[in-house]
Structure 1
Amino acid sequence: MARFVFVTGGVVSSLGKGLLSASLAACLQARGYKCRIRKFDPYLNVDPGTMSPYQHGEVYVTDDGAETDLDLGHYERFTGVSARQSDNVTTGRIYRDIIARERRGDYLGATVQVIPHVTNAIKEFALADTDGLDFVICEIGGTVGDIESLPYIEALRQLRNDLGRGQTVSVHTTLVPWIKVAGELKTKPTQHSVREIASLGVQPDVLLCRCEMPIPEAERAKIAQFCNVPKSAVIEALDARSIYDVPLQYHREGLDDEVLKAFGLPTEPRPDLSRWEGVMDAVDHPEGEVTIGVVGKYVGLPDAYKSLREALIHGGIANRVKVNIKWVDAELFEKPDGDTISELEPMHAILVPGGFGERGTEGKIASVRFAKERKVPFFGICLGMQMACIEGARAAGIEGASSTEFGDTPEPVVGMITEWMSEEGLQERRAGGDLGGTMRLGAYEATLGGNSHVAAIYGKTQISERHRHRYEVNAHYKADLEKSGLVFSGMSPDGRLPEIVERPDHPWFVGVQFHPEYKSRPFDPHPLFASFIAAALKQSRLV
C-alpha cells in the first residue's frame, strides 16, 4: 500500500512547496522507490486553462490533455514521471462534480455539505490510482489559515486517521525571516504557522524552514521545542544557486532521511544522486555562453514561460553552456520608435513562444523577419510558428495574410479548425463555445519528412508532442509557402494539420505547432532545445 506525504505551507505563499515536493520525490526515487506527486489547488476555477498568465503563471499540459498547475511541470522535470489529469484537482472541479451528482439525485435526498461530501471527494482524489506506488506526495496549494484551504486540511486530518499514522507524514513549509534592523532570524512566524495547522488537527512531522541566513542551533532547538518536532526534523532551506541543486541541498540537510524516519523506514542504503550531480556539474562549469532573445507578450512575469525557460536551460546543460535569456516585449517593435535591429542584434538566437490574442503579434512577425534575413537561429513555438507562416506568406506576396484569431482576414493563413482526429476519435470544437478545455490539448503524433532538418534532430520520423492551441496553420497555403522557401517538414498522420515548418536555406529556422518545452528534463533535454542552443553557440562564435 502506498504511503502518503502531505505538503502544506504557512505564513506566506511562494515558499517552494512545489520544489520541495519534486525534490523529495527525486531523493526517494534515488533510493529505488516509485513516487507520484499530486497537487490540490483551492481556487474555484475548474482548471487554470482560462486564467491569465499574469494571474497564475503558465498552464502546464499533460499527455492526456489536462490543463494543470505549473507545479506539475516541476514534478515531471524532477522525476521524469509523466503527470496525468488525475494528478491535479481544483475546488472548482470538486464542486462541479458534487453539484452534478446532487442534480442527478446520487445523494438520495441527503443534505450536501462540505463534510462529508467535499472532504470525501478530496480523499477519493488522493487515494485513486495508487497501485504499485511506494509514495504519493500530495501538495496542498495556498497557505494554512486561508478559508479556501480548510476543506483540504480537514481531508488531510481525516486521511491520517483513516490510513493510520504509519502510512502518512506531514511536511510543513514555513518562513524564518531575517529582520535586518534586529540582526537576527525570527522563529515566531513558524511557531504561529505550526500552531495554526495543529489547531486544525494536523501535527507536522517535518518542518522545512525557508530562510535567508543559516539557522543557528539555538533557534533550531527553539523551533523544535515549540513546534513539537525532533530537532533533526527542522530542515533549513536556504536559497539555492539553481533549482536543480535543491534535491542535493535538501538531501544534505536530511529531508528524505527525516521523512523515512517518520514512516519508520530505514535510511540505508544511501540514495544515488549522481545524475543530479552531473546536472549541477554542467551548470557550475559551463564551457561557453549564449544569449537567447525571447520575444513574447507576457515577459513581465517569467513564470508565464516557466517550462520554456527551463527547457532553454536544459539545452544549455546538453551543450555545457550558460544560457542567458533576454525577455523582449513584442509590443516594443509595434511602436513608431521601435528598433528591432538594435534590440535583437546582440542575440545569438531568437525564440518566439506561444500566446493568445492579437496584442504583440506584429512585433513577433518583425522578429521572425529579422531572424530570417539576418540568418540568426530562430525557434517558433505554437503562435510563434503561426507568425513564421504569416511572415512567409506576406513575403511571398500574399497581401493581408493573417489569422482569424485576430479578426476577419481575406487571407486566413491561420484559422480555427473545428474537427480533428485523436486516439478517442473525432473531436469537435465550435466558435462561441466555452473557452475552457476546448483546445487541441495533449499528446498527438506527427510524421516528419525523412530528409528534413527536424528528422535529423529527432533521429526518427514519428514523434509525439503535447499541444495547446485553438488555431492551426491553414494547409491550403502549403504550396504557396513552400514556393517561398518555408518547408512543411512535419504533418499530422492524416496529412491535414501542419505540425512543423523549417527553412532549408537557413542555418537553423524551425517552427512547431506543439510545445516541446513540456517534455524537456534537466537529465534528458528535449532534442529541439539541445539543437537550438547548439546553433546559438555556433552563432556566438561568428559574431
Structure 2
Amino acid sequence: MARFIFITGGVVSSLGKGLASAALGSLLQARGYSVRLRKLDPYLNVDPGTMSPFEHGEVFVTDDGAETDLDLGHYERFTGVPARNTDSVSSGRIYSSVLEKERRGDYLGKTIQVVPHVTNEIKEFLAIGEDEVDFMLCEIGGTVGDIEGLPFFEAIRQFSHDKPRGQCIFMHLTLLPYLAASGELKTKPTQHSVKELQSIGIAPDILVCRSEQPIPEKERSKIALFCNVRKEAVVAAYDLKSIYEAPLAYHREGLDQAVLDAFAISPAPKPDLRVWEDVADRIHNTDGAVNVAIVGKYTQLEDAYKSIKEALTHGGMANRVKVNVSWVDAEVFDTTDPAPHLEGFHAILVPGGFGERGTEGKIKAAQFARERGIPYLGICLGMQMAVIEAARNVAGMANAGSEEFDHEAGEKRFTPVVYHLKEWVQGNKTVARKVGDDKGGTMRLGAYSATLTEGSKVAQVYEGTAIEERHRHRYEVDTKYRAKLEEQGLLFSGMSPDGRLPEIVEWKDHPWFIGVQFHPELKSKPFAPHPLFADFVRAAVETSRLV
C-alpha cells in the first residue's frame, strides 16, 4: 500500500511545485523506494491538448496517448518512470466523468453535488494503482485559495482521513520574499498561506520555502512556530543555475529526510546519489559550447518547447558541452533572407507546431541548413517543412505545401505533399478521423513503432532498426511522392511497420540532416539522453570545429 505525499502551493504560482515533486521522487528512488507522480489540475479543460502553448506551455504526451501538463515531463526526466493516462487529471475531466455517470443514471436519481460526488471521483482517481509503488506523489495545480482548486483540496483532505493514520502527509510550497529596503526575508506571506490551508482542514507536515537568500535560524524558527511544523521540516529552496541540481540541493536541505521523518520511517535507507552527482558534474564541467537555433512560432514563451530545450541540455551533457539555445521567430524571415538570422549557429532545430503562421520561415530554415551543410533536426512539423522544402527546391514541385494550410485558408492553394491523416493502425485496430472531428484527443497520439532502413544515419544513431517513439500530429507526409524525392537524395529512412506512414527522412549526402514525425524530446532524460539529441549535438560540435 502506497504512502501518499500531497504537494500544494501558496502565495504565487510558478514557485516550482513540479520541480520539487520531481526532485523528491528522485531522492526517494535514490533511497531504494519505488515512486509514481501525479498532477491534478483545476482548470476546466478536459486536458491541455486544445490549449495554445502561450496559455499553458507545451503539451506532454505519454506512451498511452494522454495529452498532459508539462510537469509530467519533469516527473519523467527526474525519475525515469513513464507517465500514464492515470497520472494526470483536470477539473474538466472529473466533471465530465461525473456528468456522464449522472446521464446514465448511475447515481440513482440523487442530487449531484461537489461533495460528495465530485470529491469521490477525485478520490477514486487518487487510489488508482496505489498497490504498485511505495510512494505516490500528488501535486495539486494552482495555489491554495483558488476557487477552482477547492474540490481537489477537499478531496485530499477526505482522502487522508480515509487512510490509516500516518499514510498521508502534506508538503506545502511557499515564497519568502526578500525586501531589499529593509534587508529582511518576510515570513508573513508564508504564514497567511498556511493559515489559508489550515482553514480548509489541511495542516502541512513540511514547508518548502522558495527564497533568494539563506533563511536565518531566527526566521526558520518563526515559520515553524507560527505554521505549526517542526523546525527540521522547514526546507529552503534556493534559486539554482540548473534544474538538475535540484535533487542534490534538496537533499542538502534535508527534504527527503523530512519526508521519511514525517512517515516515521526509521532507520532511513541511505541514499545513492551517484547518478545525480554525475549529472551535476556534466553540467558544470564542460569542454566547450555549441550554438543551436530553435526556429519556431512560439518562441516568446520558452515553456512552449520545454522538453526540446531540456533534451538539448541532455545532448550537451552526453558530449560534455554547453548548448547555447537561441529562440528564432520563424515569422521574422517568412519573406526575407534567413541568412542574417541563422549565420553563426552550429545547428538548427525546427520543432512541431500547428497552423500556417511562420511555416515559410521554417521552410527557409530547412533550405538554409541543407544548402550550408549545417546539422538540422526537424521534429513533427519540422520534418514536414523539410519535405516541402525538398519538393519545392530540389524535386521541382514549386507549389508543394500542406493540406493543413489549405484547410486553414478555406481554399486549395498547394499540391499537398503533406495530407490530413484519416486512418491509421493503433495496436490491433484501425483508427479513423475526419477533418471536422473535435480537436481534443483526435490526433495520432502516444507510442508507435517504426522500422529503420539498414545502413541509414538514423539506424546508426539508434544502433538498431526497430524503435518506438511518441507521436502527436494529425497531418502526415504523403508516400506517393517518396520515389520522386528519394531520386533527389531525400531518403525515407524510417517507416511505420506496415510501410504506409513515413516516420523519418534524411538527406544522404548531408553531414547531419534528419526529420522525424514523432517527438523524441519526450523520452530524453539527463541520465539517459535521447540518442537523436546526443548525436545532433555531437554533429554541432563537429560543425563548431570547422568554423
Same fold (TM over 0.5): yes
Pairing 1:222-237 to 2, within 5 Å after superposition: 222-237=222-237
Pairing 1:423-462 to 2, within 5 Å after superposition: 423-462=427-466
Shift in Å at residue 349 of structure 1? Answer: 0.3
Pairing 1:314-353 to 2, within 5 Å after superposition: 314-335=314-335, 338-353=336-351
Q: Which residue of 1 aligns with 2:288?
A: 288
CA deviation string 1:180-211 (max 9, x = no partner): 21211100000000000001000000000001
Q: Which residue of 1 aligns with 2:409?
A: none
Q: Distance in 2 between matches of 1:417 and 1:63?
A: 20
CA deviation string 1:159-200 (max 9, x = no partner): 111003300010000000001212111000000000000010
Does the residue aligned with 2:546 lie in a helix, a strand or coil?
coil
TM-score by length of 2: 0.98
Q: Distance in 2 between matches of 1:483 and 1:426?
A: 32
Q: Which residue of 1 aligns with 2:511?
A: 507
Q: Distance in 2 between matches of 1:172 and 1:35?
A: 19
Does the residue aligned with 2:166 lie in a helix, a strand or coil?
helix
- Residue 88, structure 1, aligned to residue 103, structure 2: no
Shift in Å at residue 30 of structure 1? Answer: 0.3
Q: Distance in 1 between matches of 2:373 and 2:128?
A: 52
**Mapped contact 2:157–2:201 kept (Cα < 8 A):** yes
Q: Which residue of 2 aligns with 1:67?
A: 67
Q: Which residue of 1 aligns with 2:398?
A: 399
State which of 480, 488, 492 in structure 2 corresponds to 1:488: 492
Q: Distance in 1 between matches of 2:320 and 2:105?
A: 60
| Residue identity in the other structure for 1:401 | A
Pairing 1:54-203 to 2, within 5 Å after superposition: 54-203=54-203
Q: Which residue of 2 aligns with 1:522?
A: 526
| Residue identity in the other structure for 1:488 | F
CA deviation string 1:438-469 (max 9, x = no partner): 00000000000011010010001000000000
Cα distance change, pair 424–75 in 1 and its aligned pair in 2 (3 A): farther
CA deviation string 1:329-382 (max 9, x = no partner): 0001124xx441121111000000000000000000000000000000000000
CA deviation string 1:191-244 (max 9, x = no partner): 000000001000000000001111111000000000000111000000011100
**Mapped contact 2:403–2:414 kept (Cα < 8 A):** no
Instruction: State which drifts further: 45-54 or 393-402.
Output: 393-402
Shift in Å at residue 409 of structure 1? Answer: 3.7
Q: Distance in 2 between matches of 1:20 and 1:123?
A: 23
Q: Distance in 2 between matches of 1:389 and 1:237?
A: 46
State which of 369, 372, 396 in structure 2 corresponds to 1:371: 369
Cα distance change, pair 163–469 in 1 and its aligned pair in 2 (3 A): same
Does the residue aligned with 2:143 lie in a helix, a strand or coil?
coil
Pairing 1:244-263 to 2, within 5 Å after superposition: 244-263=244-263
**Mapped contact 1:317–1:522 kept (Cα < 8 A):** yes
Task: Kindly tell me the number of residue pairs found equivalent between the two proteins.
Answer: 541
| Residue identity in the other structure for 2:349 | L
- Residue 380, structure 1, aligned to residue 384, structure 2: no
**Mapped contact 1:261–1:267 kept (Cα < 8 A):** no
Does the residue aligned with 1:28 lie in a helix, a strand or coil?
helix
Q: Distance in 2 between matches of 1:225 and 1:410?
A: 69
Instruction: State which drifts further: 418-427 or 529-538.
Output: 418-427
TM-score by length of 1: 0.99
Q: Distance in 1 between matches of 2:97 and 2:155?
A: 17
Q: Distance in 2 between matches of 1:241 and 1:451?
A: 41
**Mapped contact 2:260–2:268 kept (Cα < 8 A):** no
State which of 404, 412, 415 in structure 2 corresponds to 1:411: 415
| Residue identity in the other structure for 1:403 | S
Unmatched segments (≥5 aa) in structure 1: none
Q: Distance in 2 between matches of 1:489 and 1:170?
A: 50
CA deviation string 1:79-118 (max 9, x = no partner): 0000000000000001001101101100000000000000
Q: Distance in 1 between matches of 2:182 and 2:417?
A: 63
CA deviation string 1:293-343 (max 9, x = no partner): 1000000000000000000000000000000001000001124xx441121
Shift in Å at residue 504 of structure 1? Answer: 1.1
Pairing 1:12-23 to 2, within 5 Å after superposition: 12-23=12-23
Shift in Å at residue 16 of structure 1? Answer: 0.5
Shift in Å at residue 410 of structure 1? Answer: 4.4
Pairing 1:27-66 to 2, within 5 Å after superposition: 27-66=27-66
User: What percentage of aligned pairs have identical amino acids?
Assistant: 64
Q: Which residue of 2 aligns with 1:279?
A: 279
- Residue 498, structure 1, aligned to residue 496, structure 2: no
| Residue identity in the other structure for 2:84 | R
Does the residue aligned with 1:166 lie in a helix, a strand or coil?
coil
Shift in Å at residue 424 of structure 1? Answer: 4.7
**Mapped contact 1:403–1:409 kept (Cα < 8 A):** no
Q: Distance in 1 between matches of 2:345 and 2:457?
A: 22
Q: Distance in 2 between matches of 1:156 and 1:491?
A: 46
| Residue identity in the other structure for 1:435 | K
**Mapped contact 1:257–1:267 kept (Cα < 8 A):** no
Shift in Å at residue 124 of structure 1? Answer: 0.5
| Residue identity in the other structure for 1:427 | V
Cα distance change, pair 112–140 in 1 and its aligned pair in 2 (3 A): same
| Residue identity in the other structure for 1:385 | M
| Residue identity in the other structure for 2:380 | C
Q: Distance in 1 between matches of 2:413 and 2:319?
A: 43
| Residue identity in the other structure for 1:415 | Y
**Mapped contact 2:332–2:361 kept (Cα < 8 A):** yes
| Residue identity in the other structure for 1:128 | I
Q: Distance in 2 between matches of 1:269 and 1:447?
A: 43
Q: Distance in 2 between matches of 1:505 and 1:137?
A: 49
Shift in Å at residue 31 of structure 1? Answer: 0.5
Shift in Å at residue 491 of structure 1? Answer: 0.3
Q: Distance in 2 between matches of 1:33 and 1:426?
A: 40
Cα distance change, pair 341–109 in 1 and its aligned pair in 2 (3 A): same
Q: Distance in 2 between matches of 1:504 and 1:399?
A: 22
**Mapped contact 1:260–1:267 kept (Cα < 8 A):** no
**Mapped contact 2:402–2:414 kept (Cα < 8 A):** no
**Mapped contact 1:401–1:409 kept (Cα < 8 A):** no
Q: Which residue of 2 aligns with 1:361?
A: 359
Unmatched segments (≥5 aa) in structure 2: 407-411
Cα distance change, pair 220–424 in 1 and its aligned pair in 2 (3 A): farther
